[in-house]
Amino acid sequence: MNLHTSPGGVRLETTAGFTLIELVISGAFMALILVAAYLCLNAGFSSQKIIEPRAEIIQNARVAMAIIAADLRGACPLSKDAGFLGMQRTLGSIEAGNLDFATHHYTPRRPREGDYCQESIYLDQDPKSGQYSLWRRRNPTIAPDPLAGGSKEEIATGVVGLRFEYFDGDDWYDTWGEIKTGKRETTQRDQPNLSGMPQAVRVTLLLDSNPKSRAVSESGERAIEPPLAFQTVVQLNLTAGLQSGAGDGSSGASGPDATGQGAQNGGPYQ
């Protein structure tokens, strides 16, 4: 508050304040701060919407890969006619590998069960959503048909690709094994991937990176964004012992993962 005397000798009291220009500048700065805060907050929410679904997908993939790897490390011959079967196939437009084997990685749950379990890993389509899921069939009994029976469980959803590759100690193969029918003999016995068991299996799992997306392509189908890829190499720990017991001169495992620890989980797909 300021006091001053008018020309007539009257003391006047005046109060200092903001000018119109100062108010305009202050309002402009305040508006900029509010807009910047809104943009930062909106970016944070957008990032959260992207990260949360992918974090769940990554966690589901890690669990599925860990289940498959644990079963493969304890793999053993499925039957006397088919020790280990790996098939390469497609379902619609996606690659869908199929794997049949037996494993000792099983905890008995009922009387008269042992640690032996016949198993299948495969993809199946949900008729309602049209999406593919990763399934595991397990049969803890020695069934007449080793490729049927038992119970199945879903271990991953939103799968857009599954590939198995098999290592015999020298080369990688896309398929492994064959089913004998009667006394039929093959003329390709020199191919090591037709019988016995591989030393390692490379598993590649592709998952839909945005399963809730409703974007539609020109063909009328749901547009799938670039998938998230997970890959691991698993050594079959019992293979070396089985080969040595068969008298084939094999003295130990040799391959991409001779330590039996498996390989990189969730690595890039190359």
How confident is residue 111, by pLDDT bands cut at 50, 70 and 90? confident
Residue 146 has pLDDT above 80, yes or no: yes
How far, in Å, are 11, 115, 224, 238 from residue 163 at the CA level? 95, 27, 19, 22
| pLDDT on residue 189 | 47
Pick from 71-75, 155-159, 209-213: least confident: 209-213
**Is the residue at 15 inside a domain?**
no
**Is the residue at 139 inside a domain?**
yes
Phi then psi for 239, rounded to 5 degrees?
-60, -45
**Is the residue at 28 inside a domain?**
no
- What's this model's pTM, rounded to 2 decimal places? 0.68
Phi then psi for 37, rounded to 5 degrees?
-65, -40
Determine the structural domain holding residue 183 and report its residue range: 48-245
**Is the residue at 73 inside a domain?**
yes
**Is the residue at 11 inside a domain?**
no
DSSP state, residue 167? E
> How many domains does the chain fold into?
1
